[in-house]
Amino acid sequence: MAEIISISGRVCRDKEKRAASDAARKIESVRKFLTCANCSMRCAKCGIHIEKTDIDIQDPGTPFTFCPGCLEEYLEYQALTKEPRRPACYWYNREWMAIWKNWLDLQEAIDRYRLSKEFLTLVAELDHL
């Protein structure tokens, strides 16, 4: 009975560990979201590494950085949405068009999320860590 274990010290240490773990989780989540999703050396659609020469030939009006294959598909998708016609490749069917539409919708949703009050609050919290 000579030694009494202080429970308050242990509770405090546990809270600090949880807070540090939560902070690390938040930082990693935001880091991945901001860096991996927006890497300018990767194709925005398929994720393949892009050479600088491929980036240099991108049309400045194209809102994303694409590899040559995805750029060709994106331009075809854009052309088909503006003026329906027989596609360049037979596999550019309704489902293919839906994939591109849904992917573009996802990109818009991601942009809205990045600008949301909650996400900006999280980023501000991380600035203070």
Q: What is the pLDDT of residue 34?
A: 67
| Structure confidence by residue, pLDDT tens digits, 60-88 | 788 898 999 999 999 999 999 999 899 98
Q: What is the pLDDT of residue 36?
A: 62
Q: What is the pLDDT of residue 71?
A: 92
| Structure confidence by residue, pLDDT tens digits, 84-129 | 899 989 999 999 999 999 999 999 998 899 899 998 888 888 777 6
Provide the whole-model pTM.
0.70
| Structure confidence by residue, pLDDT tens digits, 32-63 | 766 666 677 889 999 898 887 777 777 778 88
Q: Mean pLDDT across the stretch 2-14?
A: 70
* Cβ(59)–Cβ(78) below 8 Å: no
With 90 as the cut, is the pLDDT of residue 24 above it? no
Greater pLDDT, 64 or 1 = 64
| Residue in the block written with tokens 């659609």 | 45
CA atoms within 13 A on the CB side of 20: 6
With 60 as the cut, is the pLDDT of residue 2 above it? no
Q: Which residues contact 65 (CB under 8 A, 6 or more apart)?
A: 40, 42, 43, 44, 50, 55, 58
Domain range summary for the chain, segments of one domain joined by +: 37-127
